[in-house]
Structure 1
Amino acid sequence: MHFSTSFLALALASSVSAHTIMYGVWVNGVDQGEGTNSYIRSPPNNSPVKDLHSPDLVCGVTGGNAVPSFVKAAGGDTVTFEWFRNYRNDDIIDPSHEGPIITYIAPYTSGNGAGPIWTKIAEAGFSNGEWAIDKLIANNGKIDVALPNLAAGKYLLRQEIIALHEADADVAVNPSRGAQFYPSCVQLEVTGSGTVVPNQNFDINSYQSTDPGIFFDLYTKYSSYKIPGPPCFVPSSSNPPSSGTPPVPAPAPSPAPSGTPYVPPTTLLTSVRPAATKPSSCSGSGYRKA
């Protein structure tokens, strides 16, 4: 069959427009402003990652590039992640891209985050006939996550969307299909007197293409879905890391990775949303209207 150049261009544009990228975060309902390459290690575009063995799976294509700023929050605060296809108030993601949303945290590193350093703190998959993606779209691209009562220090806060519309194929067998991953990492500085140190030491690259939450057929009848990765972390009053590696201490004032002093984005903290009920820990992701 012959395809015209214009048809192929249209198909490519349509495919890209179906994707998504993290725009920014809110802390306790306060907008921290656009985070692209500021406090988010943003990829160059909204294309997915599919190679489960690549470090790009962890924080994205440019995830090893530290950015100049940190978002500040205290243990127990609610962080709201904001997603759009390309820019704020754009569409969120194509509704066909059903799948889960998973949030991890790790001690800060200026590297790409590869290795067994991650702890799952929130997840949302399929429940009551509805996918996490459906809820994200309905709530204008926003999803709330309650931080554990974390020990003060610097962290990477990672959220991923997994789109399952082509996950009926094993990507290791058919690289043109398979689950699509949209990961982003936020540089986070935690303040306060919390004591919780996440200690699961999960390696994002330990995902397997045959895991039931990654190799999944949306087009057959199903009533449940197993979210990939470890179970959600359940904090106790104190969780010493099994590796003996604490979070990077937060100096005062906090320098950015480049050595430039961190300047809170006070000019951006002008839009405040009404307070909402915090999501429960680890079952853990909540949604609310902007």
Structure 2
Amino acid sequence: MLSILCALALTALSATSVQAHGYVQDVAVGSTHYTGYLPYSDPYTSPTPQRIIRPIPGNGPVTDVSLIDIQCNGYTDGGAPGSSPAPIYATVAAGSQMALNWTTWPDSHKGPIITYMARAPSDVTQWKPGTSAVWFKVAEAGKTASGLWAATDLLTASKSIYTFTIPPKLQAGQYLIRHEIIALHAAYTYPGAQFYPSCIQVKVTGSGTALPTSGLVSFPGAYTATTPGIAYDVYSNTSAYPIPGPAVWTGGN
């Protein structure tokens, strides 16, 4: 009986742990849906599901901004932290919207939602950006003037779906989208902020020719321990929140 009770307790603890954080579980491009990488089932499914989101080890965060883990929260093929490519990509037209469905997000994990893109030099299903400065920001949402946070208040109001627009004049090609929530509930000192990035592989279509030539950043590199918005007390700070990273690239609008 004791062993059964212990097993039940561990199961409950595991379920609580799984619910404590989150990740993107579905990507919608128009009426087409792509199931996200599911860390608690995909590794044990045969044949391995074909995903457009690069593998992540679980629903937990990255807290050290100096690690390659901050890029995609994933693993390389050999099991070392990094960005292991996914086998397929989604096709999306420049100027169209992508809807990213998060698992239920804890209401205590206040913070911004930030989206970057990087153009793959060739096949995105084989490309690893490494520490090159190739990322440009295409969307961001932080704290509204009335104090509502993107990752809790606004995400909950939209039923856990965050929508952003592929820049309308962006040059056609294959891209890696880096989408993240930064949870600030313990960010009053560094390390404390929790980063939840996902990397999504896409092929952008259209006749656009625009590409950014400045404001490109690397991961790791874009954030440091002293970057504004990384160490931030959400409980006592009533001022505007400084979203970390470069300005949103507007050349594709």
Common fold: TM-score over 0.5: yes
Whether 2:63 is the aligned partner of 1:46: answer no
Partner residue of 2:24?
22
SS at match of 2:70: helix
Q: Distance in 1 between matches of 2:181 and 2:26?
A: 15
Equivalent positions of 1:244-255 (< 5 A) are none
Q: Distance in 1 between matches of 2:237 and 2:165?
A: 33
Deviations 1:190-213 (A, max 9, x none): 112111113332113220122221
For the 8 Å contact 1:59–1:113, the answer to whether it is kept is: no
- Alpha-carbon deviation of 1:12? 6.8
SS at match of 1:202: coil
Deviations 1:119-140 (A, max 9, x none): 0000000012100011112212
TM-score computed with the length of structure 2 as normaliser: 0.80
- Alpha-carbon deviation of 1:11? 6.4
Whether 2:67 is the aligned partner of 1:66: answer no
SS at match of 2:220: helix
Instruction: Answer 1 or 2: higher relative contact order, Cα 8 Å, separation at least 6.
Output: 1
What is the RMSD computed on CA atoms of the aligned residues?
2.1
Q: Distance in 2 between matches of 1:165 and 1:205?
A: 22
Which runs of structure 1 show a deviation greater than 4 angstroms over 4 or more consecutive aligned residues?
8-13
- Alpha-carbon deviation of 1:144? 1.0
Q: Distance in 2 between matches of 1:15 and 1:208?
A: 28
Equivalent of 1:79 in 98, 115, 125: 98
Q: Distance in 1 between matches of 2:219 and 2:68?
A: 9
For the 8 Å contact 1:170–1:215, the answer to whether it is kept is: yes
Whether 2:238 is the aligned partner of 1:222: answer yes
Between stretches 214-223 and 118-127, larger displacement belongs to 214-223
Partner residue of 1:32?
33
Amino acid corresponding to residue 25 of structure 1 in structure 2: V
Equivalent of 1:131 in 131, 142, 149: 149
What fraction of aligned residue pairs are identical, expressed as a percent?
40
Whether 2:115 is the aligned partner of 1:103: answer yes
| Structure 1: unaligned runs, 5 residues or longer | 85-91, 172-177, 237-280, 282-290
Whether 2:203 is the aligned partner of 1:195: answer no
Deviations 1:22-58 (A, max 9, x none): 1121123x23231326100030211111111111101
Q: Distance in 1 between matches of 2:15 and 2:29?
A: 34
SS at match of 1:159: strand
For the 8 Å contact 1:55–1:112, the answer to whether it is kept is: no
| Structure 2: unaligned runs, 5 residues or longer | 1-5, 38-49, 76-81
For the 8 Å contact 1:102–1:122, the answer to whether it is kept is: yes
Q: Distance in 2 between matches of 1:139 and 1:152?
A: 30
Equivalent positions of 1:140-289 (< 5 A) are 140-148=159-167, 149-171=169-191, 178-199=192-213, 200-206=215-221, 207-235=223-251
Partner residue of 1:252?
none
Partner residue of 1:89?
none
For the 8 Å contact 1:32–1:71, the answer to whether it is kept is: no
Whether 2:127 is the aligned partner of 1:114: answer no
